[in-house]
Amino acid sequence: MAVSEQHDAYPCSPRRQTMTRIAFIGLGNMGAPMAHNLVKAGHDLTVYDLSASAVAQLTQAGASAAADAASAVANAEVVITMLPASLHVERLYLEDDLLGRVAPSALVIDCSTISPESARKVAEAAQGRGIAMIDAPVSGGTGGAAAGTLTFIMGGDEANVARARPILEKMGKNLFHAGGAGAGQVAKICNNMLLGILMAGTSEALALGVANGLDPAVLSEIVAKSSGRNWATELYNPWPGVMPQAPASKGYAGGFGVDLMLKDLGLAAESAMTTRSAVPLGELARNLFAMHSAGGSGKLDFSSILQLYTRAPQK
Ligand code: NAD
């Protein structure tokens, strides 16, 4: 079922040249660079975020500002949301009844990472109003969002997924259709459980090496070319100074927050309980990130989990 459309199969398609009226809600670490790429691609964007400064940055780039979410979606052909968690998505679409403001002809794409149950609940409510909706959580981090190389993992009807592709291709490189409504979230949760385990494991290995006299940059280079290599050692090294572009080298600012990773590991734990699946490493990672968050690091990038292993990382 996983279909990857990495290449521009129809470069001359009239549909691809059409400017689409898009409402984009949620302009945080991920949403802002994603929205930028849609503006750059020539789409007509109306944006909204609770943070006025986040909205201001997008209007400087050419987007229009809406006073609230309802005004943002009023004339939209496509609505995209990039919010923190299930709570925010359900509150916006259901409790605040944003679905009631969306045109029945519009396509709604929720890119937030939320529980599969929430995704299905909102998709069903949309369907009840005749509105097409898919879940399309992303992978690739803020670097991928800025570069337009994200991976989108979609859940929903094939026809709606096909409608979403030309838009998502402006923000990502790999587009997968995981299955029906909520399936994108299931795949994303599995991926992030593995990511949490790998980041904690990478931090543990680097801390061990440094405690035994190794240079973290040298050890990282060795691991990146050896059997322990992973996304963290290749693109997102947790040790400050090893990768100048990584959040670790910027005081763990921006990036993917500890509390967001903790949320995703919690979603994995919930899914595991539902199906009586054993996820001992996922649970251990969840506990490590919970301890780290409780120590006051919830807003730091998740690679700061390194600090659990070494209190004063060398720069
Ligand atoms: P973030 O906290 O930086 O941004 C969330 C934004 O949503 C904020 O600007 C906030 O003001 C806004 N917001 C919240 N409620 C709102 C509402 N009702 N109306 C309008 N705006 C509202 O989070 P992020 O890092 O951009 O992550 C967003 C989602 O993407 C999360 O579900 C996260 O798990 C997922 N994700 C993040 C990364 C990453 O590297 N940061 C990577 C993949 C997936």
Percent of the chain with pLDDT over 70: 93
CATH 1.10.1040.10 positions along the chain are 187-308
Residue 91: partners with Cβ closer than 8 Å, 6 or more residues away: none
Judged by average pLDDT, the poorest of 11-20, 163-172, 267-276, 299-308 is: 11-20
Whether 30 is in the pocket of ligand 1, judged by its Cβ within 6 Å, is yes
Whether 83 is in the pocket of ligand 1, judged by its Cβ within 6 Å, is yes
Tens-digit pLDDT profile for residues 282-303: 999 999 999 999 999 999 999 9
pLDDT exceeds 50 at position 10: no
User: Which of 87, 185, 191, 256 for mutating ligand 1's site (highest number of atoms within 8 Å of CB)?
Assistant: 256
Mean pLDDT rounded to a whole number for the chain:
93
User: Which of 29, 135, 153 for mutating ligand 1's site (highest number of atoms within 8 Å of CB)?
Assistant: 29
pLDDT exceeds 60 at position 81: yes
Query: Measured in angstroms, how far is the CA atom of residue 9 from the centroid of ligand 1?
Result: 31
Query: Measured in angstroms, how far is the CA atom of residue 14 from the centroid of ligand 1?
Result: 33
Query: Measured in angstroms, how far is the CA atom of residue 25 from the centroid of ligand 1?
Result: 9
Distances (CA, A) of 149 to 18, 84, 121, 128, 142: 21, 21, 29, 33, 10
CATH 3.40.50.720 positions along the chain are 7-181
Across residues 224-236, what is the average pLDDT? 96
Task: Report pLDDT for 313.
Answer: 46
Tens-digit pLDDT profile for residues 251-280: 999 999 999 999 999 999 999 999 999 999
Q: For the whole model, what pTM was predicted?
A: 0.91
Across residues 216-243, what is the average pLDDT? 97
Between CA 244 and CA 167 the distance in angstroms is: 31
Atom of ligand 1 nearest to the CA of 27: 9
Between CA 254 and CA 206 the distance in angstroms is: 22
pLDDT exceeds 60 at position 312: no
Across residues 165-171, what is the average pLDDT? 98
User: For domain 187-308, is the CATH number 1.10.1040.10?
Assistant: yes
250 is catalytic: no
Annotated catalytic residue, options 170, 173, 188, 263: 188
User: Which of 27, 30, 153 for mutating ligand 1's site (highest number of atoms within 8 Å of CB)?
Assistant: 30
Per the CB < 8 A criterion, the answer to whether 22 and 45 are in contact is yes
Q: Angle CA(55)–CA(147)–CA(259) in degrees, nearest 5?
A: 60
Task: Report pLDDT for 192.
Answer: 97
Architecture of domain 7-181: 3-Layer(aba) Sandwich (3.40)
pLDDT exceeds 50 at position 22: yes
Q: What pairs with residue 150 in β-bridges?
A: 172
pLDDT exceeds 90 at position 4: no
